[in-house]
């Protein structure tokens, strides 16, 4: 059943006086006939609810005295909750908080209007950052993922980076990828008062998290926290979070991996920016973005890669090193040596003599992660390659990534032929 607007209620009252049946009015406005009867009957009757006595009327003098002692700032209304608590604690007031609000609305003049200020941002100066939550199918499993959204305030160009977590590692890692996608670093990044960005306080008086402050100093941008409970302070990125949900609609797709999801999102965002219009320039967002790139700071060739754990591990005889309850393969030439293991946001990084020699995904359900290429290669002075795989084992390994439904029906015969050297 439709809900009547105020204009429709007025129209029903006026047409009801012209002797049009209630049934006909109900049919025209798509409501029940009883609804029409109610509004037509109230045509000449004033609303008596404002004249009803209120519970707070008995404490009118107390309220007047409290208002005189607690004058609000110019342009603001008195603190109704503080007044209600004062009445309850000191005078056993039985009414609700809303009754105090209604009393003030009746006896005080309306609060003055405060217009909103619109301020533009020059090219390359400011960006706004925020998180959004989504449920997306990745690797055949529905996952609760977080979308880091970074929007350039001038061109409205934006980047969307997916992450499993919102901790400090993910926060900085998503910044790196978003800056890379947008083609540079703005001079100011406005953020919400989240714990990875703000250590204490909010808005202009906030204390920036030391780790994030060090990262911002290295990339030469200023962190600008928005005011508490003021989403309009970062309205441009709030709009892009909604666009990622309603315009890109990643929940309607399935992805084989996080890498595929991020790659698909980059392409979808680029296409979307060609369709959106920049309100400042009147050109497509994509064109405004190409011009704003020239005003951004150059991204360092090696953006800071955050990691929260650094340990030393000895490589076992099976070319595996242990970390966080899992075992990861490294090149066979490092057997018996000690390598440095770094736990980054999405990856486990293995270093030898300062050189990255292996990389695996972090926080997976798997407990054994092996790269077959780590067991191949030329011998060194101290280590020779492992014994090569046999024909049958190589054939079995080739079936590793083949779905069960796509395996050939004559698989047994093929394996038998491999075993006897026919294939």
Q: Answer whether 158's CB lies under 8 Å from 186's CB.
A: no
Pairs from 111-117 (Cβ < 8 Å, separation ≥ 24): 111/75, 111/76, 111/77, 112/75, 114/75, 116/232
Residues 316 and 247 in one domain: no
302 domain residue, yes or no: no
Examine the domain organization and report whether 290 and 255 are in the same domain.
Answer: yes
* Domain closes at, from 265, 295, 325: 295
* Per-residue pLDDT tens digits for 138-159: 988 999 999 999 999 999 999 9
Same domain (yes/no): 58, 43: no
> Is 415 inside a domain boundary?
yes
195 and 226, same structural domain? yes
327 part of a folded domain: yes
Classify residue 1: in a domain, yes or no. Answer: no
For the entire predicted model, the pTM comes to: 0.60
Residue 26 shares a structural domain with residue 66: no
Residues 148 and 275 in one domain: yes
CATH number of the domain that 350 lies in?
A: 2.40.50
> Per the domain annotation, does 122 fall within a domain?
no
Query: Do both 341 and 284 map to the same domain?
Result: no
Q: Answer for the pair 339, 313: CB distance below 8 angstroms, yes or no.
A: yes
Q: Is residue 120 part of a domain?
A: no
Q: pLDDT tens, 363-403?
A: 888 899 988 889 888 888 888 888 665 455 554 555 555 55
Q: Is the domain of 29 the same as that of 59?
A: no
In a domain, 235, yes or no: yes
pLDDT at 134: 94
Measured at the alpha carbon of residue 311, what is the angle toward residues 309 and 316, in degrees to the nearest 5? 135
pLDDT of residue 218: 80
In this prediction, residue 422 carries a pLDDT of 56
Q: Is residue 112 part of a domain?
A: no
Total of domains in the chain: 5
CATH number at residue 282: 3.30.420.10
For residues 276 and 126, what is the distance between their CA atoms, to the nearest angstrom?
20
d(CA 162, CA 142) in angstroms, rounded, equals 14
Are 31 and 167 in a shared domain? no
- Same-domain check for residues 169 and 267: yes
| Stretch (H or E) spanning 144 | strand 141-152
Same domain, 135 and 195: yes
Residues of the chain with pLDDT under 70: 1-2, 16-19, 42-52, 302-306, 387-423
Question: Would strands 338-344 and 326-329 be described as parallel, antiparallel, or unpaired?
Answer: unpaired
**Quick one: tokens of 5?**
């607007």
The pLDDT assigned to 385 comes to: 81
pLDDT of residue 143: 92
Query: Does one domain contain both 157 and 271?
Result: yes
* Domain boundaries, position 283: 127-295
Q: How far is CA 70 from CA 65, 112, 308, in A?
A: 9, 18, 50
Q: What is the pLDDT of residue 322?
A: 94
Write the pLDDT tens digit of every residue in 41-57: 765 555 555 666 777 88
Query: How far apart, in Å, do the first and last CA atoms of the chain sit?
Result: 72
């Amino acid at each position: 059943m439709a809900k009547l607007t105020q204009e429709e209620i007025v129209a029903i009252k006026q047409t009801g006086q012209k002797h049009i049946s209630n049934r006909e009015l109900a049919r025209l406005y798509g409501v029940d006939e009883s609804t029409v009867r109610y509004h037509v009957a109230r045509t000449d009757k004033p609303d008596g609810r404002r004249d009803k006595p209120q519970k707070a009327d008995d404490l009118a003098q107390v309220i007047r005295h409290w208002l005189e002692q607690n004058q609000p700032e110019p342009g603001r209304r008195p603190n109704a909750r503080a007044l209600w608590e004062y009445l309850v604690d000191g005078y056993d007031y039985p009414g609700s908080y809303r009754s105090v609000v209604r009393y003030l609305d009746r006896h005080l003049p309306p609060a003055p209007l405060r217009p909103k200020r619109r301020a533009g941002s020059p090219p390359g100066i400011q960006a706004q950052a925020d998180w959004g939550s989504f449920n997306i199918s990745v690797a055949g499993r529905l996952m609760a993922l977080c979308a880091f959204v970074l929007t350039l305030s001038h061109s409205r160009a934006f980047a969307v980076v997916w992450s499993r977590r919102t901790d400090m590692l993910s926060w900085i890692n998503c910044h790196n990828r978003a800056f890379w996608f947008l083609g540079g670093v703005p001079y100011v990044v406005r953020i919400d008062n989240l714990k990875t960005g703000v250590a204490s306080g909010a808005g202009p008086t906030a204390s920036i998290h030391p780790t994030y402050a060090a990262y911002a100093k290295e990339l030469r941008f200023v962190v600008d926290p928005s005011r508490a409970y003021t989403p309009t302070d970062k309205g441009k990125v709030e709009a892009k979070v909604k666009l990622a949900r309603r315009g890109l609609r990643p929940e309607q797709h399935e992805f084989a991996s996080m890498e595929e999801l991020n790659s698909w999102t980059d392409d979808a965002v680029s296409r979307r920016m060609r369709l959106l219009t920049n309100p400042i320039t009147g050109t497509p967002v994509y064109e405004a973005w190409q011009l704003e790139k020239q005003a951004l700071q150059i991204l360092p060739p090696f953006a800071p890669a955050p990691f929260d754990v650094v340990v030393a591990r000895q490589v076992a005889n099976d070319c595996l090193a242990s970390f966080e309850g899992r075992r990861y393969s490294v090149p066979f030439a490092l057997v018996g040596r000690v390598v440095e293991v770094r736990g980054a946001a999405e990856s486990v990084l293995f270093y030898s003599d300062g050189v990255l020699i292996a990389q695996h995904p972090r926080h997976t359900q798997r407990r054994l992660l092996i790269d077959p290429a780590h067991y191949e290669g030329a011998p060194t002075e101290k280590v020779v390659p492992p014994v090569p795989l046999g024909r049958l084992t190589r054939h079995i390994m080739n079936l590793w990534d083949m779905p069960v439904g796509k395996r050939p029906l004559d698989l047994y015969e093929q394996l038998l032929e491999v075993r006897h050297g026919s294939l």
